[in-house]
């Protein structure tokens, strides 16, 4: 009886087990049917989303070039590929050994590597910019938890050459200052995108199924700057600033027949590649465009141009110069000799007589008795609408400030001061463009520093000279102004620019430096000089500014010698023959 009961219990247990297994199996079959058939779409999408990732493909930044007079391109800004060594410390079992092996391959700091590998993180950078050869050595170690990534860095193979025109690229890949900032969008290009199924290591599971949008490289930019001229201008400017113990200086060379900038320099300067090591970020400022100045007597050329163009004066027109003028209760005097004499307009420029250009202002309304509202309106119109002073030139450089030319509602004495370059502000590129317009026959060209852009397909888009104004002065007035400016070099304050056999024109300037809190510094002046050569067919215009020179006259003793240095070199570089020699 006991055996029968025991057998019955065993059968019941066996039956229950079978029923249980049947129910469980049925459950899994139903669930599998539900997943594979009824909910197939849902779980397929979930699986795809789990493995699918999207990666940005960085675009290669466009490069920047300059040229020489023969059209040969020279790279100023390039991209160089380096290797970044990264680690996932979670997979590092022996940080001492791994750090030592990496240090042996790179020559780097083992202590730093170990410190990074011991961190409680999933991502650590051991090296940011290894050269490719050293990167290969690290790759050959085949270390678990260590990965390599290609990275690019902006390099500037010509060092500090044309630094203020270039600018630099910061750690975030954004252009700062100069061309790098002005054309940042065009240089950056368009990022690509790679999306598809990837394993946990980021390796594509099925490359053929990935969706790839290729990155579009940025445009290359070719500048109008001539490499050789830029080198020479930077050398001459540095020597000129140091020779007179000045605080800083700027220089611009322009082609007067196109508006192309052939050189633009400021001193002190910096290396774009080492921008993080500068002591004072003020060195990044492109003073030639970002710091308008009261340029002094160089502006007398523009005031005389207004008189010649209006027909109210000629080079031979004379006035009675009493050396000083009283206007609105203020006395304005000439510098140098205090004599009373009849002085011609040509002599006004040669001797840089303040009273002479004040006389020109008085004549603009048809009489010369006093400064009238109409006189001021006419000069203002000429400065603004013919010479395009007082507003930015829109040259392709970031940070340009256009300066200030007050309207005719201001005082008479203010306008009297403006005729000889005080009480208004102008940047260096404006000075170069305006001078170009009055010595090239009367055409104002928009200043530009970009010659062309080249897209990723190799298509080149040239920048053509843009005429802004054709009627700045007549051909006759232009010739008269050039002749007047030649006398400054032969008999006036620009004698240091003289070169036998060549017709060189120029004009000196000096002015007190404006105090930001109002008025002027008593003991701070700047010197300017602008000019051209040769008079019969000007090939270049040069503008020089020297701040706070010591022990010399600011215009004739500080700025003019720098002009002369550059001018003499350009005559030889361009192969300009002496007057009368074919």
Give residue-wise pLDDT tens across range 517-550. Answer: 888 898 899 999 999 999 999 999 999 999 999 9
CA distance 40 to 21: 26
Structure tokens at 316: 């031979």
Hey, how many other C-beta atoms are within 10 angstroms of the C-beta on 259? Answer: 27
Hunting for tokens 């170690």 — which residue is that?
A: 141
Cross-strand bridge partners of residue 505: 532
CA distance 36 to 402: 72
DSSP track, 355-395: HHHHHHHHHTTS--SS--HHHHHHHHHIIIIIS-TTS----
Going from N- to C-terminal start, the domains of the chain cover 2-50, 61-188, 226-272+287-574
CA distance 558 to 525: 11
Hey, how many other C-beta atoms are within 10 angstroms of the C-beta on 188? Answer: 21
Residue 46: exposed, middle, or buried by beta-carbon count in 10 A (0-12, 13-18, 19+)?
Answer: exposed
Hunting for tokens 């961190």 — which residue is that?
A: 119
Q: How confident is the model at residue 158 (pLDDT cuts 50, 70, 90)?
A: very high
Residue 492 DSSP label? S
Question: Rg of the chain over CA atoms, in angstroms?
Answer: 36
Whether residue 340 contacts residue 320, with contact meaning beta carbons closer than 8 Å, is answered with yes
Q: How far is CA 460 from the centre of its chain?
A: 21
User: Taking Cα atoms as reference points, which of 470, 499, 515 lies closest to residue 560?
Assistant: 499
Lowest mean pLDDT among 167-171, 176-180, 227-231: 167-171
Q: What tens digit of pLDDT does each residue of 380-411 get?
A: 999 999 999 999 999 999 999 999 999 999 99
* Cis ω before 268 (30° cut-off from 0): yes
| Residue 569, C-beta contacts closer than 8 angstroms, at least 6 positions apart | 232, 236
CA distance 399 to 447: 15
Whether residue 313 contacts residue 289, with contact meaning beta carbons closer than 8 Å, is answered with no
Whether residue 469 contacts residue 386, with contact meaning beta carbons closer than 8 Å, is answered with yes
In CATH terms, the superfamily for domain 61-188 is Penicillin-binding protein 2a (Domain 2) (3.90.1310.10)
Structure tokens at 256: 């007067």
Kindly report the pTM of this predicted structure: 0.85
The domain defined by 226-272+287-574 carries CATH number 3.40.710.10: yes
User: Taking Cα atoms as reference points, which of 15, 53, 17, 399 lies closest to residue 205?
Assistant: 53
Q: What tens digit of pLDDT does each residue of 462-503 get?
A: 999 999 999 999 999 999 999 999 999 999 999 999 999 999
Whether residue 370 contacts residue 363, with contact meaning beta carbons closer than 8 Å, is answered with no
CA distance 361 to 312: 10
CA distance 498 to 492: 10
CA distance 49 to 197: 8
Q: What tens digit of pLDDT does each residue of 14-60 get?
A: 666 677 666 666 666 766 666 565 555 655 555 544 455 566 778 89
Average pLDDT over residues 299-321: 98
Measured at the alpha carbon of residue 552, what is the angle toward residues 548 and 553, in degrees to the nearest 5? 85
pLDDT given at position 201: 44
Q: How far is CA 85 from the centre of its chain?
A: 33
pLDDT given at position 337: 73
Q: How many residues does the chain have?
A: 582
User: Taking Cα atoms as reference points, which of 312, 579, 543, 318 lies closest to residue 439?
Assistant: 543
pLDDT given at position 316: 98
Hey, how many other C-beta atoms are within 10 angstroms of the C-beta on 236? Answer: 26
Q: What tens digit of pLDDT does each residue of 90-130 get?
A: 989 999 999 999 999 999 999 999 999 999 988 899 998 89
Q: What tens digit of pLDDT does each residue of 58-93 get?
A: 889 999 999 988 888 999 999 998 998 999 999 899
CA distance 516 to 249: 19
């Amino acid at each position: 009886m006991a055996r029968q009961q025991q057998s019955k219990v065993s059968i019941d247990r066996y039956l229950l087990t079978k029923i249980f297994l049947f129910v469980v199996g049925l459950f899994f079959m139903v669930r599998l049917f539900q997943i594979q058939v009824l909910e197939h779409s849902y779980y397929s999408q979930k699986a795809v989303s789990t493995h699918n990732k999207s990666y940005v493909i960085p675009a290669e930044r466009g490069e920047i070039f300059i040229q020489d007079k023969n059209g040969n391109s020279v790279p100023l800004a390039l991209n160089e590929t380096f290797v970044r060594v990264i680690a996932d410390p979670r997979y590092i079992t022996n940080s001492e050994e791994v750090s030592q092996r990496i240090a042996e391959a790179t020559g780097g700091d083992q202590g730093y590597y170990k410190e990074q590998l011991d961190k409680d993180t999933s991502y650590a950078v051991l090296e940011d910019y290894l050269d490719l050869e050293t990167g290969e050595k690290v790759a050959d170690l085949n270390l678990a938890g260590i990965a390599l990534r290609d990275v690019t860095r902006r390099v500037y193979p010509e060092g500090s050459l044309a630094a203020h025109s270039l600018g630099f690229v910061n750690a975030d890949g954004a252009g700062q200052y100069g061309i790098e900032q002005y054309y940042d969008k065009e240089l950056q290009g368009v990022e690509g995108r790679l999306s598809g199924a990837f394993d946990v290591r980021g390796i594509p599971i099925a490359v053929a199924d990935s969706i790839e949008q290729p990155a579009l490289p940025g445009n290359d930019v070719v500048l109008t700057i001539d490499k050789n001229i830029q080198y020479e201008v930077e050398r001459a400017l540095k020597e000129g600033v140091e020779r007179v113990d000045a605080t800083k200086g700027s220089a611009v060379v322009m082609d007067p027949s196109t508006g192309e900038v052939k050189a633009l320099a400021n001193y002190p300067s910096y290396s774009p590649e080492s921008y993080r090591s500068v002591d004072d970020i003020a060195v990044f400022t492109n003073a030639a465009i970002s710091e308008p100045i009261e340029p002094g007597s160089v502006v007398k050329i523009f005031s005389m141009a207004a008189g010649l163009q209006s027909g109210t004066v000629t080079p031979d027109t004379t006035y009675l110069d009493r050396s000083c003028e009283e206007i609105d209760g203020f006395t304005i005097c000439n510098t140098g000799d205090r004599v009373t004499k009849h002085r011609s307009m040509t002599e006004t420029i040669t001797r840089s007589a303040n009273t002479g250009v004040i006389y020109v202002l008085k004549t603009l309304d048809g009489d010369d008795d006093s400064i009238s509202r109409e006189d001021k309106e006419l000069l203002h119109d000429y400065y603004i609408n013919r010479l395009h002073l007082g507003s930015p030139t829109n040259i392709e450089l970031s940070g340009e400030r256009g300066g200030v030319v007050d309207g005719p509602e201001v005082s008479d004495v203010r306008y009297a001061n403006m005729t000889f370059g005080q009480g208004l502000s102008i940047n260096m590129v404006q000075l170069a463009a305006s001078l170009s317009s009055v010595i090239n026959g009367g055409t104002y060209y928009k200043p530009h520093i970009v010659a062309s852009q080249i897209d990723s397909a190799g298509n080149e888009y040239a920048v053509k000279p843009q005429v802004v104004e054709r009627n700045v002065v007549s051909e006759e007035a232009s010739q008269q102004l050039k002749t007047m400016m030649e006398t400054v070099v032969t008999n006036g304050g620009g004698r240091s620019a003289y070169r036998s056999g060549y017709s060189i024109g120029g004009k000196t300037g000096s002015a007190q430096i404006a105090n930001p809190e109002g008025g002027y510094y008593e003991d701070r002046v700047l010197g300017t000089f602008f000019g051209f050569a040769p008079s019969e067919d000007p090939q270049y215009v040069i503008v020089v500014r020297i701040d706070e020179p010591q022990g010399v006259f600011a215009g004739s003793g500080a700025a003019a010698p720098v002009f002369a240095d550059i001018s003499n070199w350009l005559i030889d570089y361009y192969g300009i023959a002496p007057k009368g020699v074919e």
